Structure 1
């Protein structure tokens, strides 16, 4: 029987995996929760232009505004997978609370979200369900509602949360990877996914906030002053220290040097991190998932992170300004 899948958050990442999963199963079994792009996607479907998958690819999943609509449209049939591709930002009600109507005792919940320490609220809400923590490398942008441009790379790292989860949960990770492979995507299953999370966070926790605060792409910022490189490297080294204190010694200064060399080799203007795009649009950012959570882990482990504290304070202030601006507009 074809699996039934709910995708929560159909932005750029969610759209690409909607395409992949519609190939792996039947589009009628793939439900996508859309918000700002609902009107377009409900009428025209999702269009993907990809250097890997192809150009002008259109898929027409079941499009809904809310999880409750998805449950009603599924006519009581349970979802085998709930895949969360929404940004890891606190909301009221919380994402787990919004998902609850769609989660049965057999549902696997896959979190394709950035940051560290993002899984606990799902584990608390659904203590018996398989929770799959995923790290994605997928440069994609929704260039207009319902149309996504994707280039260069596509890989999803998957692991259970926690890493000591029962073998049945690890089987769920293997089954999701197989489903993605069937849709033409790449996926790797790990015994401990947190290694991959820290590896990506090393880059994200430095470049995302610094680019958002400076309103600059990465190479633009590096060329802005003689102190720019030291700041970026300093934040990365602090993240590496927290990762090592958390039991991941391979997140080392050598990895920092490698990431710095990658960035400095790019031509101008460089890469636009997601936080920079969010800041330019006045949208709330993943402040706690990417910066606040590692800072709290550092404090618990006794690791000194003065640069990370400074970045967090400034980024929280900027994010708060976006909230106030939105509230003032009503």
Structure 2
């Protein structure tokens, strides 16, 4: 089973553990800072873009509600994936692979295939960790890396980058982590139960990609099949789903231990099984898929404004959440636990969230691409593959995707005229 049989990182005190975060925004920098413990032979590096200069010169300046103010100086800061792949251990101990590759970028599968982006970093003993919004985010990684353990993670954190290299964490830091084998694929449930690691690319979702400004290395409309030249361990027998889950669980337990025992983050939850983690993803989707697109389509209204001041908008938000609440158990084969807040409780809580703008609205106002596919498109496709329709969510998905396409066509047309 290739790398799955190797000694797990962290089990040998004399063997350094090397972790790299792909994405040095607020979420990535915060969680990286609580995972970096050189005295315990755990070394965390960052791959940064716009804030690369600030991080190399001053480190990460953190202003936190939970841990006070402090400076995080990573083991290394790289300007690109290529640089991190060429020299994963710049301290002079010699080149070696990354034990953990933690992806904290926005999930934009319609713009770039980030599984291709990280391919140069992945080795036989690597583990991929995805701290991203939405559902189905794991699928391109599983197809490209059929023998690599994957950890899926969902976080609820209030954090922002107030200036390059300066991170403010306000309150929450809860993160749920768990192994991923193939449970969020786009295949029908009957196929998923017998999923193999030789699934062809024809079973994946197809997107109309943009101009690859987010760094795609493979600007195509489909994800590569597992026998692609970019797939690792192609000459060895792929591990079973059970082996991937077991190894993923072991690696998730190590991360949780480091974050809690060493990093002092109290709210790190290791999912009991793969479906439990996907249940958390779909629960967060109730909030993201309701409030994010509505804020944009309603003309730029904040969360509390929509809930408190407009009965029709409140009814719409409730309808979207209830649709997901009803569909998710059919998709996952498991109901939401009673401990998770239902739609009405979420709405009442949102009434107090005055001044809050969801991330899609912030991206729309800044002219950035929105996470439409993973928050809206993927759940519609995944549910449909299992015989479940979500007409409210599909309508919102179609309208918001069209709004973004129309605006981008207008921007390209205007830019073309400006060159005349």
TM-score (norm 2): 0.72
Q: Deviations over 1:95-118 (max 9, x none)?
A: 111111111111011000011111
Indicate whether 1:234 and 2:253 are aligned. no
Counterpart of 2:189 in structure 1 is: none
Q: How does 1:1-330 map to 2 (within 5 A)?
A: 1-23=15-37, 29-55=43-69, 57-61=70-74, 62-74=76-88, 75-90=94-109, 94-162=113-181, 165-166=242-243, 167-181=246-260, 182-185=262-265, 186-190=267-271, 191-192=273-274, 193-214=277-298, 215-246=300-331, 247-250=333-336, 255-264=342-351, 266=352, 268-269=354-355, 271-321=356-406, 323-324=408-409, 327=412
Structure 2: segments with no counterpart, 5+ residues: 1-14, 89-93, 184-240
Preserved contact between residue 108 and residue 131 of structure 1 (Cα < 8 Å): yes
Q: Deviations over 1:73-115 (max 9, x none)?
A: 3252111100000011126652111111111111011000011
Change (3 A) 1:22 1:239: same
Q: Distance in 2 between matches of 1:311 and 1:67?
A: 35
- Report the alpha carbon displacement of residue 209 of structure 1 after superposing the two structures with TM: 1.2
- Report the alpha carbon displacement of residue 261 of structure 1 after superposing the two structures with TM: 2.0
Preserved contact between residue 244 and residue 251 of structure 1 (Cα < 8 Å): no
Preserved contact between residue 17 and residue 41 of structure 2 (Cα < 8 Å): no
SS in 2 for 1:312: helix
TM-score (norm 1): 0.91
Q: Distance in 2 between matches of 1:93 and 1:208?
A: 21
SS in 2 for 1:154: strand
Q: Give the structure with the larger helix fraction.
A: 1
Find the structure with the greater CA-based Rg: 2
Q: RMSD of the alignment, in Å?
A: 2.4
Q: Deviations over 1:243-302 (max 9, x none)?
A: 0211232278971222122123x1533x22111211121111110100111111232333
Q: Distance in 1 between matches of 2:320 and 2:410?
A: 29
